[in-house]
């Protein structure tokens, strides 16, 4: 994705609507997958129920996990914004000049805030339910009340993670929707001091940039929750499935043809769906503005198709390029530094010249130096992050 975005900026393909649509999908997918990763971190972290945490009281556990969350939040924010803030100070650029960084910063802030509220809500529910159930057990005088209390307690203990997350996710979705629809709320959130210095002015490009991906974060959180529940479902039913296959004495060859047909249908359907989306979006919108207005409501369909296509077979799921993995690690540096060390100007059209008479040799040399410099700066940023935030 990052290489495609670099090529998009290099050839200045903004005016080519199909390419613009594909690049918008790539940016949205980056934000969505980032939110997915943040969800997985918080969901698996198990702040309140770790072995060390259980030694403390509920209030102390909540305070400890809140400090850990804030510490990690500052770490990630430093990692995302250190280079950009440095460039803004040195070259007197505005923060919005590097619009991708404010976008992923606000997306991460929304993800972290959502999952933090979820963790604290779990703590509150655990504390209040334990106290309330103790009171009810003392005052209960018949078996039916005790049975209802026990049923409520079992239900809350079994599904409290899911209940709390769905409540918090609904609130985050509503807040994102209100930000997208209400100019007053958006201005109140981003254009009041001290954030106005970073995101302003109000008639600038920030509202346009953010509105395109206003639902990407909650979509990534939703994907993370759905995948986690699917994994739990498969794990619960794995033993039953093995027992069933043994009982009816079914061989793997019995499933071979139907499974192959199903995979072909999934791959063909996902590919056709992606192509159809780009064609229909190009034909019916016919302008960048119309498409960006519809993008927040349409982007979930092609992203789901891409994810289904990626995970449709073991070959697609397990194969990856080490080069693109490396590029993904320095994606932030590539985006931030492309106009400082690679492309000659905002309009694209060429790279910085070292060897004037050999165009292709100059392109290869400049690109190689650009990637290596980004890699080195990435390592320096990691070192500084660990130095200032050990």
Question: What is the rounded average pLDDT of the residues 329-339?
Answer: 92
In this model, does residue 125 exceed pLDDT 60? yes
Q: CA-CA distances (angstroms) from residue 109 to 112, 114, 234, 252, 292?
A: 5, 8, 32, 47, 23
pLDDT at 170 over 60: yes
Q: What angle do CA 116, 134, 50 make, to 5 degrees?
A: 35
Tokens of 376: 């080195």
Listed in sequence order, the DSSP H helices in the chain are 2-10, 17-45, 58-91, 100-139, 143-181, 183-190, 196-199, 206-212, 216-248, 252-285, 288-298, 300-310, 314-318, 322-329, 331-341, 359-388
Q: Average pLDDT, stretch 37-66?
A: 74
The per-residue pLDDT for range 256-310, each reduced to its tens digit, is 556 677 778 878 888 888 888 888 888 888 888 899 999 999 999 899 988 888 8
User: Can you state the angle between helices 322-329 and 2-10, rounded to 10 degrees?
Assistant: 70
State phi, psi for 351 to the nearest 5 degrees. Answer: -115, 170
Can you tell me the distance from the alpha carbon of 29 to that of 219, in angstroms, rounded to the nearest whole number?
A: 10
pLDDT band at 337 (very low <50, low <70, confident <90, very high): very high
Whether residue 222 has pLDDT greater than 80: yes
* Range in 92-96, 155-159, 204-208, 216-220 with the lowest mean pLDDT: 155-159
Question: Phi and psi for 343 in degrees, rounded to 5?
Answer: -80, 145
Tokens of 379: 């390592």
The confidence band for 223, taking pLDDT boundaries of 50, 70 and 90, is very high
Question: Comparing 8-12, 187-191, 195-199, 247-251, which segment has the lowest mean pLDDT?
Answer: 247-251
Instruction: For residue 343, list its beta bridge partners.
Output: 351
**pLDDT for 381:** 94
> Count of alpha carbons within 13 Å of 168, Cβ hemisphere only?
23
* pLDDT over 80 (residue 183): yes
pLDDT at 246 over 80: no
Q: What's the pLDDT at 11?
A: 86
d(CA 10, CA 363) in angstroms, rounded, equals 11
Q: According to the model, what pLDDT value does residue 248 have?
A: 47
Mean pLDDT of the chain: 83
Between residues 182 and 151, the one the model is more confident about: 182
Report whether pLDDT(250) > 50.
no
DSSP string, 165-225: HHHHHHHHHHHHHHHHH-HHHHHHHHSSTTTHHHH--TTSSHHHHHHHTTTHHHHHHHHHH
- pLDDT at position 386 over 50: yes
Q: Is the pLDDT of residue 383 over 60?
A: yes
The pLDDT tens digits for 25-41 are 999 999 999 999 999 99
Looking at residue 37, what is its pLDDT? 93
Q: What one-character DSSP code corresponds to residue 351?
A: B
At 370 the pLDDT is 94
pLDDT in tens, 347-378: 566 778 888 888 888 889 999 999 999 999 99
User: What pLDDT is recorded for position 212?
Assistant: 93
Lowest-confidence pick of 52-66, 134-148, 241-255, 374-388: 241-255
Give the pLDDT of residue 138.
Answer: 46
Determine the Cα–Cα distance for residues 187 and 207; give it in Å rounded to an integer.
9
Question: Is the pLDDT higher at 115 or at 204?
Answer: 115
What is the band of 313 on the pLDDT scale with cuts at 50, 70, 90? confident
Per-residue confidence (pLDDT) for residue 254, from 0 to 100? 47
How confident is the model at residue 49, as a pLDDT? 57
Q: What is the pLDDT of residues 81-96, one digit of tens each?
A: 999 999 999 998 889 8
Q: How confident is the model at residue 115 (pLDDT cuts 50, 70, 90)?
A: very high
| 244 pLDDT tier (thresholds 50, 70, 90) | very low
The whole-number pLDDT of residue 32 equals 95
């Amino acid at each position: 994705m990052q290489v495609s975005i670099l090529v998009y900026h290099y050839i200045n393909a903004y005016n080519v609507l199909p390419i613009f649509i594909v690049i918008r999908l790539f940016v949205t997918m980056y934000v969505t997958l980032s939110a997915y990763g943040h969800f997985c971190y918080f969901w698996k972290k198990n702040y309140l129920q770790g072995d060390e945490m259980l030694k403390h009281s509920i209030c102390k556990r909540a305070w400890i996990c809140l400090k850990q969350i804030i510490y990690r939040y500052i770490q990630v924010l430093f990692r995302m914004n250190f280079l950009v803030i440095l460039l803004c100070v040195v070259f007197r650029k505005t923060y919005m000049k590097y619009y991708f960084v404010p976008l992923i910063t606000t997306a991460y802030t929304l993800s972290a805030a959502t999952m933090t509220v979820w963790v604290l809500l779990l703590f509150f529910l655990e504390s209040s339910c334990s106290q309330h159930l103790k009171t009810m057990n003392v005052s209960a005088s018949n078996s039916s009340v005790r049975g209802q209390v026990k049923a409520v307690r079992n239900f809350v203990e079994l599904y409290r993670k899911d209940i709390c997350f769905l409540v918090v996710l609904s609130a985050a979705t509503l807040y994102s929707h209100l930000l997208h629809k209400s100019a007053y709320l958006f201005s109140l959130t981003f254009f009041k001091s001290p954030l106005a210095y970073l995101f302003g002015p109000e008639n600038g490009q920030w509202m346009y940039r953010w509105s395109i991906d206003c639902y990407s974060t909650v979509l990534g959180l939703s994907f993370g929750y759905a995948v986690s529940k699917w994994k739990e479902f498969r794990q619960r039913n794995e033993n039953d499935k093995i027992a069933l296959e043994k009982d009816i004495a079914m061989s793997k060859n019995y499933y071979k043809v139907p499974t192959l047909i199903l995979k072909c249908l999934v791959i063909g359907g996902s590919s056709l769906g992606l192509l159809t989306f780009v064609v229909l979006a190009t034909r019916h919108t016919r302008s960048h503005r119309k498409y960006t207005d519809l993008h927040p409501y349409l982007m979930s369909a092609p992203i789901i198709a891409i994810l289904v296509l990626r995970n449709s077979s073991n070959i697609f799921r397990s194969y990856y390029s080490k080069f693109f993995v490396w590029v993904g690690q320095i994606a932030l540096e590539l985006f931030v530094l492309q106009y400082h060390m690679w492309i000659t100007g905002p309009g694209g059209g060429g790279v910085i010249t070292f060897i004037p008479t050999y165009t292709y040799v100059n392109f290869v040399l400049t690109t190689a130096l650009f990637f290596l410099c980004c890699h080195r700066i990435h390592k320096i940023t990691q070192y500084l992050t660990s130095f200032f935030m050990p």
